[in-house]
């Protein structure tokens, strides 16, 4: 018997759309023990929130997020509003005893992240942070390959997150589509928006980061707001860093929105003694794998088309050779969350995991500022 779970979602921008889609689809494609009910969605502007609610079949539209947090019938609060609102909402939702799903980055700084994590852990309720890329089937397959011991001792981890949408000086600062360029709202630039994805994936696949050494840059410092007023850009366009992992391997990371021609190149390569893997989100249905254990004359990088029934999540979708895409990662994540909830297991990454990523992000920014190697802050257990 499938039980219902009432969801209240705060925020209805790009991520609100992706999450709404996931709530509608999870029971169509997965046999999970719970059925999310799209109860209420909150936004600041009445009209657009109501239009969103109609389009996505949310039962109610609210203009005050507190109505959602306080509603007794809401089981899950889903936070996908701008970064600078996460903390207050999460603290309130935790206090109200809700399960919480929160968009990444967790917080605008480590301090807020610690408060939030403490709060949700005190509440003892299930929680998850939407680092959706763990649920790209090819990345989950990478995790499986590593856990099967196919890479052996790891020497190198090499990650990029390259985009090019902010190169034009005409891209405005602020507002619904571009609050990510606004310091006060986003907290940080590509470190939190892009590098955070790289870091979450890296920690998942390669373990804790021991030290980082970073540089950041702002290539375009003068932009404009939508109303034409000047806006000084204060968030970093670029975030590159060297890293030492606790397992002895070395890492290089680079995140930018100034890599002309790269639209969503969230890539990583891991080089181990026995094998290597490579992934690129622009070809997210593929995983490249090199095995040193193949016969010498037959060794080569394999392009695994990650669409088979034997691949993570894919048996739930179509048939081999049929590609899935971006939004499926959210459905996969939600299915995992619901299954973990039933079993009483942590759905990863949860707030605690996201806090570890936040600590690395913060160390990266501090390193760039101080021009020195920084060890991420130790987190309370």
* Residues in region 276-295 near a second copy by CB under 8 A: 276, 281-285, 287, 289-292, 294
Beta carbons of 255 and 244 less than 8 angstroms apart: no
The 8-class DSSP code of residue 133 comes to G
Residue with tokens 């759309």: 17
Tokens of 305: 């088309």
Interacting residues with a second copy between 328 and 357 (CB under 8 A): 328
Residue 191 touches a second copy, criterion: CB under 8 A? no
CB of residue 324 to a second copy, shortest distance in Å: 4
Closest CA to 166 of 150, 154, 182, 151: 182
Residue 261 touches a second copy, criterion: CB under 8 A? yes
Beta carbons of 103 and 91 less than 8 angstroms apart: no
3-state helix, strand, coil in the chain (%, to 5): 40, 25, 35
> Which one of 78-86, 120-128, 236-244, 342-350 is the stretch in contact with a second copy (CB under 8 A)?
236-244
CB of residue 297 to a second copy, shortest distance in Å: 4
CB of residue 362 to a second copy, shortest distance in Å: 19
Interacting residues with a second copy between 304 and 323 (CB under 8 A): 304-305, 307-308, 310-311, 317-323
Residue with tokens 């705060």: 10
CB of residue 278 to a second copy, shortest distance in Å: 9
- Complex with a second copy: residue 253 or 351, whichever CB lies closer: 253
Cα separation, 221 vs 108, in Å, equals: 21
Q: How deeply is 21 buried, as exposed, middle or buried, from its count of CB atoms within 10 A (0-12, 13-18, 19+)?
A: middle
- Complex with a second copy: residue 63 or 299, whichever CB lies closer: 299
Residue with tokens 């895409």: 325
CB of residue 147 to a second copy, shortest distance in Å: 12
Residue 369 touches a second copy, criterion: CB under 8 A? no
Closest CA to 159 of 366, 360, 373: 360
Q: Hey, how many other C-beta atoms are within 10 angstroms of the C-beta on 369?
A: 11
- Complex with a second copy: residue 56 or 65, whichever CB lies closer: 56
β-bridge mates for residue 4, sequence order: 35
The residue length of the chain stands at 381
Using alpha carbons only, what angle is made at residue 21 by residues 18 and 25, rounded to the nearest 5 degrees? 140
Residue 175 touches a second copy, criterion: CB under 8 A? no
- Complex with a second copy: residue 62 or 280, whichever CB lies closer: 280
Residue 296 touches a second copy, criterion: CB under 8 A? yes
Give Cβ neighbours of residue 141 (< 8 Å, ≥ 6 apart): 287, 304, 306, 311, 312
36, 43, 113, 272: which one contacts a second copy (CB under 8 A)?
Answer: 272
Residue 297 touches a second copy, criterion: CB under 8 A? yes
- Complex with a second copy: residue 153 or 346, whichever CB lies closer: 153
210, 259, 340, 379: which one contacts a second copy (CB under 8 A)?
Answer: 259
- Complex with a second copy: residue 85 or 264, whichever CB lies closer: 264
> Which one of 75-83, 86-94, 140-148, 357-365 is the stretch in contact with a second copy (CB under 8 A)?
140-148
CB of residue 30 to a second copy, shortest distance in Å: 10
Residue 176 touches a second copy, criterion: CB under 8 A? no
Cα separation, 250 vs 210, in Å, equals: 10
1, 72, 227, 371: which one contacts a second copy (CB under 8 A)?
Answer: 371
Cα separation, 138 vs 118, in Å, equals: 33
Residue 372 touches a second copy, criterion: CB under 8 A? yes
73, 124, 230, 298: which one contacts a second copy (CB under 8 A)?
Answer: 298
Q: Are strands 99-102 and 76-79 parallel, antiparallel or unpaired?
A: parallel
């Amino acid at each position: 018997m499938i039980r219902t779970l009432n969801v209240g979602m705060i925020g209805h921008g790009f991520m609100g759309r992706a999450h709404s889609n996931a709530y509608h689809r999870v029971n169509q494609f997965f046999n999970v023990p719970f059925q999310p009910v799209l109860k209420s969605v909150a936004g600041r502007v009445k009209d657009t929130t109501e239009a969103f609610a109609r389009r996505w079949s949310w039962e109610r539209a609210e203009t005050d997020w507190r109505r959602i947090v306080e509603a007794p019938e809401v089981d899950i609060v889903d936070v996908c509003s701008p970064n600078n609102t996460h903390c207050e909402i999460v603290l309130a939702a935790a206090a109200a005893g809700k399960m919480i799903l929160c968009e990444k980055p967790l917080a605008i700084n480590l301090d807020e992240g610690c408060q939030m994590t403490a709060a949700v852990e005190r509440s003892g309720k299930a929680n998850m942070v939407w680092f959706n890329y763990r649920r790209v089937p090819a990345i989950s397959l990478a995790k499986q390959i590593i856990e099967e011991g196919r890479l052996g001792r790891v020497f190198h981890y090499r990650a990029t997150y390259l985009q090019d949408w902010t190169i034009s000086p005409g891209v405005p600062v602020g507002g619904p589509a571009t609050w990510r360029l606004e310091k006060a709202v986003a907290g940080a630039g590509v470190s939190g928006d892009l590098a955070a994805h790289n870091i979450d994936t890296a920690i998942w696949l390669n373990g804790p980061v021991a030290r980082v050494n970073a540089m950041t840059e702002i290539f375009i410092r003068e932009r404009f707001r939508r109303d034409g007023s000047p806006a000084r850009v204060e968030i970093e366009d670029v975030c590159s860093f060297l890293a030492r992992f606790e397992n002895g391997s070395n890492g290089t990371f680079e995140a930018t929105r100034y890599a002309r021609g790269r639209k969503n190149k969230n890539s990583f390569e891991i080089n181990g003694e026995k094998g290597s893997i490579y992934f690129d989100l622009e070809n997210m249905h593929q995983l490249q794998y090199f095995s040193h254990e193949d016969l010498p004359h037959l060794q080569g990088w394999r392009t695994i088309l990650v669409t088979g029934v034997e691949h993570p999540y894919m048996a739930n979708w179509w048939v081999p050779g049929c590609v899935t895409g971006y939004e499926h990662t959210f459905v996969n994540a939600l299915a995992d969350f619901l299954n973990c909830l039933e079993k009483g297991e942590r759905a990863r990454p949860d707030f605690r995991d996201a806090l570890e990523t936040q600590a690395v992000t913060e160390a990266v920014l501090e390193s760039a500022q101080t021009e020195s190697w920084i060890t991420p802050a130790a987190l309370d257990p």
